[in-house]
Amino acid sequence: MAKILICDKMDAAALDVIQNRWGADVKIGQTPEELADNIGPYEAVVIRSATKVRTPAIDAGKNLRVIIRGGVGIDNIDHEYARGKGVDVRNTPNASSDAVAEIALAHMFALARNLHKSNVTMRNGEWLKKKYKGIELAGKTLGIIGIGRIGQSLAKKASALGMKVVAFDAFVDKSPLDFVTMVGKDELLAKSDFVSLHIPSSPEGYVIDSKEIAKMKDGAYLINAARGGVVDEKALIEALDSGKLAGAGVDVWEKEPTDNVDLPKHENACVSPHLGASSAEAQARVGSEVVKVLEEYFD
């Protein structure tokens, strides 16, 4: 029987398949230290975004063959170190692309039409029809930083709405889509009405800080459904306070659960608690892809 450790919540149907075919231990909410203490017997570890698999846990995984990240980014795994130790690191890059692209678009719609504000004031019994005149997405320029699977999915949806799409990617020169124009990062920031981030976190720190925000178009909107730590939250609040940015859509946070009390309460911020991949369809696809990876190792 395979020794599999499930560290984060996953689709129930996929978990049933794993339990019935190979058996698995489910231990949710482990700290990196607890994982290092428990990982020894296991050949496979399955995580989502919450669990961090760092060097001590990899060293302690004497029987470890594969770490499976149910999702796209693998920055919560010391993946280069793991591979150097002969441990494979796999993810499920196709499963949640549409779901994350949709939540980025949802934030754009909410900000453009003031839904994040009017939803609250209506609940308070206020009818502020004249106050909340919005803008249309059609005809606006969307700048996508990171034109991978999620960025491409968002680009297709935005283009269908009549938006002009430009993109910057440090690793891509030629546009993967004929309707997307590749531009330099500074040009993208200066020209875009909406900027949406679809990049991993950087060991060098913030990708969008006060200097980058200063390069953005006055009155633009910033959307982050990528990774917490990509955007300097303090600088973002300052830009919202000053009016440099008209609004921000934030799904991912520097610390999760966030201890930032100011940004969620800001009237020009549309916020969500890391819901990007949290659709029933995406969760099912993630679970199915995790099962396929396990089949490669244990069938």
Catalytic residues, by residue number, are: 227, 256, 274
Tokens for 232? 């300097």
Helices (H), 124-196: 149-160, 185-191
Torsional sign, CA 182, 199, 223, 107: positive
221 contacts 248 by C-beta, under 8 angstroms = yes
Number of Cβ atoms within 10 Å of the Cβ of 123: 8
Helix (H) or strand (E) holding 263: helix 262-265
Give dist(CA 241, CA 235) in Å, integer. 10
Give dist(CA 2, CA 6) in Å, integer. 12
What are phi and psi for residue 19, nearest 5 degrees?
Answer: -65, -40
Calculate the alpha carbon distances from 270 to 99, 159, 265, 267 in Å: 17, 22, 9, 8
What are phi and psi for residue 131, nearest 5 degrees?
Answer: -75, -30
240 contacts 260 by C-beta, under 8 angstroms = no
- C-alpha 112, offset from chain centre: 21
Termini Cα distance of the chain: 11
Give dist(CA 97, CA 33) in Å, integer. 31
Q: Which residue has tokens 């980025």?
A: 104
295 contacts 14 by C-beta, under 8 angstroms = no
